[in-house]
Structure 1
Amino acid sequence: MTDSVIRASGLTLRRKQRDVLHDISLDIPAGAVVGLVGRNGAGKSTLLQCLAGLVSPDAGSSALLGCPSLDLSDAVRERLGYVAQTPDLFGWMSVLEHLQTIGRAYPRWNEERCLALALRLDLPLSTNVSKLSGGDQQKLAVVLALAHDPDVLLFDEPVSSLDPLTRREFMRAIFSGDQQRERTILISSHILSDLERVVSHVAFIRDGRLQAFDSWDAMLEHYRLAPPGSAPPAEATVWRGAASGRVLIDSRRAPQLAAAGRALTLDELFMELNT
């Protein structure tokens, strides 16, 4: 995993004299599955919209597959799957009509694969989209994003309205494409237990700023809470909790503290980075 597929450099977006995103830089390699983690309002949706070319930043730039996000070529769009937090769907169509209409836009669209995904997620094909529940609308958006077997997936809370069984089927579906090609995934979710099982990397974002971005294996091996009373060097400090007073460190920059503490779960890291 050496080639950059998703890249952001100094992304900054201001709204009402406030930075919604502040100087965010990311370099996501081919084949990575990146969990984007943060509280509501942290900037996750805005970051994904910038990467997809749907929002123009005030500063900085981003690219997908080497193509600027604000000028994505048709060839790149054909290799991209995107699910917004609130799906933008055609309410007057049936589910099947919606799938067939969108499918005509993608040369690599596979109707058999599309219908198999719809069946796997228990999606009612004959129902009008306007009559679908919120969960079923989310399922439809997921099928639309996956049915052309894209190389890059951007998912904004794609499972928030799904029950546990459907979430499991969704996770299976995103890894069931052509295994001869690498698929790069950036997915935001509040259901951290789901992410923890599938991610290769994690990006934490708070108040529009990137707090930490690393491989999940590295976080498990090296991220620790500094022992009480210790004075970790500044370069090893990942986050200092204003309320808790605890210090999260990267032991690669403080080898003397490498044996301190234990590996933290994704939930525990989230709590430490948001207190």
Structure 2
Amino acid sequence: MTRIAIEAHDLQLAYRRKTILNRLNLAVPEGAVLGLVGRNGAGKSTLMRCLTGLVKPTQGDCRIGGYPSQDLADEVRERLGVVAQTPDLFEWLTGEQHFEQIGTMYRDWQHDRARALATQLDLPLFTPARALSLGDQQKLAVVLALGHDPDWLLLDEPVASLDPVARRAFMRALFDRVEREDPRTVIISSHLLSDLERVVSHVAFMHQGRIQLMDAWDVLAEQVRCVQGPVAPPPDCVLAQTADGRWIVDLRRAPPGLQGEAMNLEDLFEGLNA
């Protein structure tokens, strides 16, 4: 039986009469690398904050490793790595000084691991954070999140400020497979879908505060198709209809023999949000 590492049940959050999370449910298997995708305002960052206990939902609950997000003990937080959309750094400290500071907070902090990752990412360690580019600040935030080898890693748009070459190196370094007794579970949100497609095992599409579609990416790539023709497919298998009249169809619910075009992650995202 698959163990669930990160979950949310009936999560709802409203702010100033605006619904941000709308009875959202999520179950991320242990060891999964989940790509969380959606348009601006879909609720991705808010969901991340709820999962880490930074925001309390109006209704519902969420858990990490089986522990309630709103009441994570220190020993549980030590197993969690988080990178916010805006890097949260001490602007007067260098990268090396950040390592020393963070090392006092985590019993499992590994200086050598952090330095090796910084070298791999071409991150200067003796420059104050305020003098780093936004891209290097994001790199530093990720190194700090990984330096204690967390069991759960939540990343909110970590590569938005990097150029394409740096993004590729960043993704390779970030998801370089290291043998661990317990596999790490990752949630990463990004608008850079071609990069995301290379590293994820699962994808969750968010729309208007809800999970619109979620599954293993290889399953979605195999079973979700773009169909066009004079006759509409049965409604039960239609996920969305595009602006040009094509249908996004789940073949698992479609009648035998229905065929269509395969889609990459970017095509599927655009089709679901047409």
The aligned residue for residue 17 of structure 1 is 17
Q: Distance in 1 between matches of 2:108 and 2:8?
A: 27
* Deviations, residues 251-271 of structure 1 (Å, cap 9, x unaligned): 11113254x112111010011
Alpha-carbon RMSD? 1.5
The residue identity in structure 2 corresponding to 1:72 is L
Cα deviation, residue 122, structure 1: 1.5
Provide the aligned length of Structure 1 versus Structure 2: 273
Partner of 1:142, secondary structure, is helix
Structure 1 match to 2:270: 271
| 1:270 counterpart letter in structure 2 | F
Q: CA deviation at 1:223?
A: 0.4
Following the alignment from structure 1 to structure 2, what is the Cα–Cα distance between the partners of residues 230 and 28?
Answer: 37
1:188 corresponds to 2:175: no
Alignment of 1:142-221 (within 5 A): 142-176=142-176, 177-221=178-222
Match of 1:255, SS state, is: coil
Q: For the residues of structure 1 that align with 2:257 and 2:50, how far apart are their CA atoms?
A: 38
Structure 2 portions without partners, runs of 5+: none
Identical positions, percent: 54
What are the ranges of 5 or more consecutive residues in structure 1 without an aligned counterpart?
none
Residues 98-137 of structure 1: pairs in structure 2 closer than 5 A: 98-137=98-137
Q: How far did 1:105 drift? A: 1.0
Structure 1 residues 198 and 170 mapped into 2: Cα distance closer, same or farther (>3 Å)? same
Aligned-pair CA distance for 1:142: 0.6
The verdict on how the C-alpha distance between 1:13 and 1:68 changes in structure 2, with shifts beyond 3 A counting, is same
Q: Can you list the C-alpha shifts for 1:56-102, whole angstroms capped at 9, x where unaligned?
A: 11111110000011111222211111100001111121221112101
Secondary structure at the counterpart of residue 198 of structure 1: coil
Correspondences of 1:77-92 after superposition (within 5 Å):
77-92=77-92
Normalised by the size of structure 2, how large is the TM-score?
Answer: 0.95
Contact 2:62–2:69 (CA under 8 A) maintained in structure 1: yes
Confirm or deny: 8 A CA contact 2:34 2:203 kept in the other structure.
yes
Offset from partner CA, 1:171-197 (integer Å, 9 cap, x none):
222233444330111100111111111
The answer (yes or no) to whether the contact 1:38–1:205 under 8 Å persists in 2 is yes
AA in 1 matched with 2:62: S
SS of the counterpart of 2:41? coil
Does structure 1 conserve the Cα–Cα contact (< 8 Å) formed by 2:201 and 2:218? yes
Query: 2:175 touches 2:199 (CA, 8 Å); kept in 1?
Result: no
Q: Distance in 2 between matches of 1:63 and 1:14?
A: 20
| 1:30 maps to amino acid | E
Q: C-alpha distance in 1, partners of 2:213/2:244?
A: 19
